[in-house]
Structure 1
Amino acid sequence: MKTSRHLLRAGLAALCLSTFAGAALAEKLKVGYLPASGHAKFFVAQEQGLFKQEGLEVELVEFVNQADGLHAVTSGKIDIGAFGTSAPLVHYSRGADLKVIGGIMGQDSSIVAKQENAAAYRNIADLKGKKIATVRLATGDAVLRGALKAAGLDWKTDVQIFELKNPPAVAEAVKSGQVDVGVTWAPHDVLAERQGLKVVIRSGELQPGHPCCRLVVKSARLNDQATLEKFVRAILKAEKFAAQNRKETIDSLQKYVKLDREILETSYYSAWLDQTSDPNAKGTAQFWETLADSGFIEGNRDIKGLFAPETYRRALESLAKEEPNEAFWRERIALEKTRNTL
């Protein structure tokens, strides 16, 4: 009996030490996000324990706009952030010390109008002479300006663009008649339709497959590749989890975006939301050209220097090695090869 008690105590002590060691060794990261349905993979990775599986202790830090989030990355207040494509590219063009290691979502923006006017806006050329509300440097804002140019319209003279603070302000401007149409994104597009507006044009129709929020870090962060790869592994696991577990995904999302479940589910599982997690260097480089055409890009910095795709590549390959028969990883490997070579 004494021997058994000694063995039990020894086992419990070893378990406690192991647990303590695991907690002590957990690598801490501060990660910035926007309260949008497209950022659900952060919430899934947190709530479903996927960050912990990778030995990470992640603090999710909410930002209401991209500018504040990017400043937090460049100033070292947070380690990783995901913010719309436009803002990181503009800051990079001005010399910001940024690297893209992956993505969190793509497409997902839309143009909304009043129901009674919706039929008048069948394509981008129909916006000539109209008042348009947008959020400056949001992804949809850049897509809009690029599409206007492609249609032979000058966004400075052929339309009137009003830059507002956030998507709710855009929707309110459309509802009140202060503008004719507005540019928003999920889940605010779904909310706008619940409030009587109608989506008339999707950003994916204007620039198919365009990227949105990219995972960005300071260059110095690349010195800690092991930690970054663990983080991207958790995001990839969350992508796979969300594709296969709808209820639990919305449970996780609802803890961070306080909206009706139906709205969140409609927006996150929309056919217009690209949920892949790779850097999409080709799409981002194309977006760079869109911003340059729109007058947002300053200087002649080489866009190739923005990307660090090896982080994503190694994280994905390690997951595929662990599950060699998993079709999900094979599909992501094939996609990565087509989108991340410039």
Structure 2
Amino acid sequence: MRRDFLIAALAVGLVAVIALGCLGTDEDKKITTLRIGYQPSTHQVAEMVAMEEGWWLADLAPFGIVKVEDFEFPSGPPEMQAMLGGNLDIAYVGAAPPISAIAQGLDAKIVAAVQMNGSDLVVRPEVDYEGPKSLVGLAVGTFPPGSIQDTVFKKWLQDNGIDPAEIDIKSMGPGDATTAISAKRLDAVFLPHPAPSIIELGGNGRTVVSSGEMWPNHACCCLVVSGKLMREEPELVEQIIKTHIKATEYINANPERAAEIYSAKTNQNLEVVRHSIENWDGAWISDPHVIIPSVAEFARVNYELGYTGSKLLTEEDLFDTSFYDRVKS
């Protein structure tokens, strides 16, 4: 009897130990590696500057971060799929892809702006472009459905009385699209910088419309943070935003240094990067309030295009500006 009692007691104790081990302490749950998603575009050079200058790790170390990793994606939709899969903590991404992802159940919010405008419609030299109707029947490469470029381009076509179905729109990343127009497999592309500069300087196309002309002062890239991080590490999120603001202010004050960092990070020709920064119609910003109106419009357009199912997402679904507001107060 005594032996059975001791065995039972030991079993109960073992279960308790295992349970405590599984539950862990608050310290066990704290994040130590920050995983950042980004794309190889001058739109998102703030992320690259903060990484190259060592600001991410230095600024976040007091909050227990010992490692910062960044992961490159060709466009926003696959980046948001990675975040849906739990593989990213924060993302530098166009403001349209999070709309579709949040509609699919992504637990995340936009907490800061990154950049506005900054994409161009580029046509091959031999294409006789005289306005949007010139594109009817042509093959145009742009980012996948649900991306900023897809949303802006299709809205612009509709605003000009053109059904997007009248154009052969090819979904592809910037590298594939640049190669395709250079090989004359596309008649035009609508891409973020620096791709338009790469195509122009290579003699393979000319810019005919900038995205800021299509949709003045439209939101482009933003900073998205996982809901888990916002709930469990609010002070860490505030510091992430502070570092982002610092990097944004730095690149606006030092565009030449930003070009050098971008060139080194992406192995892109420095002269091409300089040309891109000097000739784009974009602007690097951080205040999320600036982009709320156009992101709400993106949500409406994406809803009408069928990208978000039966739900029209609202500002409250997409944004949490409280972290930025506390940082700036």
State the TM-score bracket (shorter-chain normalisation).
Answer: 0.7 to 0.9
Does residue 129 in structure 1 map to residue 137 in structure 2? Answer: yes
The CA distance in 1 between the partners of 2:219 and 2:301, in whole Å, is 12
Aligned to 2:237: 228
The CA distance in 1 between the partners of 2:240 and 2:279, in whole Å, is 25
Instruction: Please list every run of 5 or more consecutive structure 1 residues that lacks an aligned counterpart in the other structure.
Output: 1-24, 318-342
The CA distance in 2 between the partners of 1:299 and 1:26, in whole Å, is 35
Aligned to 2:120: 110
Matches within 5 A, 1:184-263: 184-196=191-203, 197-223=205-231, 224-263=233-272
The CA distance in 2 between the partners of 1:303 and 1:288, in whole Å, is 7
Q: Taking structure 1 as the reference length, what is the TM-score of the superposition?
A: 0.77
The CA distance in 1 between the partners of 2:201 and 2:139, in whole Å, is 22
Corresponding residue SS for 1:54: helix
Counterpart pick for 1:168 among 172, 175, 180: 175
Aligned to 1:29: 34
- One-letter amino acid of the structure 2 residue matched with residue 161 of structure 1: I
- One-letter amino acid of the structure 2 residue matched with residue 204 of structure 1: G
- Confirm or deny: 8 A CA contact 1:108 1:202 kept in the other structure: yes
The CA distance in 1 between the partners of 2:243 and 2:43, in whole Å, is 16
Instruction: Please list every run of 5 or more consecutive structure 2 residues that lacks an aligned counterpart in the other structure.
Output: 1-29
> Whose Rg is larger?
2
> 1:293 offset after TM fit, Å?
3.2
Counterpart pick for 2:156 among 127, 147, 152: 147
> 1:301 offset after TM fit, Å?
4.3
Aligned to 1:9: none
The CA distance in 1 between the partners of 2:227 and 2:184, in whole Å, is 45
The CA distance in 2 between the partners of 1:102 and 1:39, in whole Å, is 13
Counterpart pick for 2:50 among 45, 62, 76: 45
The CA distance in 1 between the partners of 2:279 and 2:238, in whole Å, is 28
> 1:256 offset after TM fit, Å?
1.3
Aligned to 1:273: 282
> 1:107 offset after TM fit, Å?
1.5
Does residue 69 in structure 1 map to residue 69 in structure 2? Answer: no
Corresponding residue SS for 1:136: coil
Count of aligned pairs between the two proteins: 289
Does residue 314 in structure 1 map to residue 326 in structure 2? Answer: yes
- Confirm or deny: 8 A CA contact 1:209 1:274 kept in the other structure: no
- Confirm or deny: 8 A CA contact 2:300 2:312 kept in the other structure: no
Corresponding residue SS for 2:161: coil
Corresponding residue SS for 1:96: coil
The CA distance in 2 between the partners of 1:301 and 1:291, in whole Å, is 9
- One-letter amino acid of the structure 2 residue matched with residue 121 of structure 1: Y
Q: Taking structure 2 as the reference length, what is the TM-score of the superposition?
A: 0.80
- Confirm or deny: 8 A CA contact 2:96 2:295 kept in the other structure: no
Q: 1:198 to 1:271 in 2, by over 3 A?
A: closer
RMSD, aligned α-carbons: 2.2
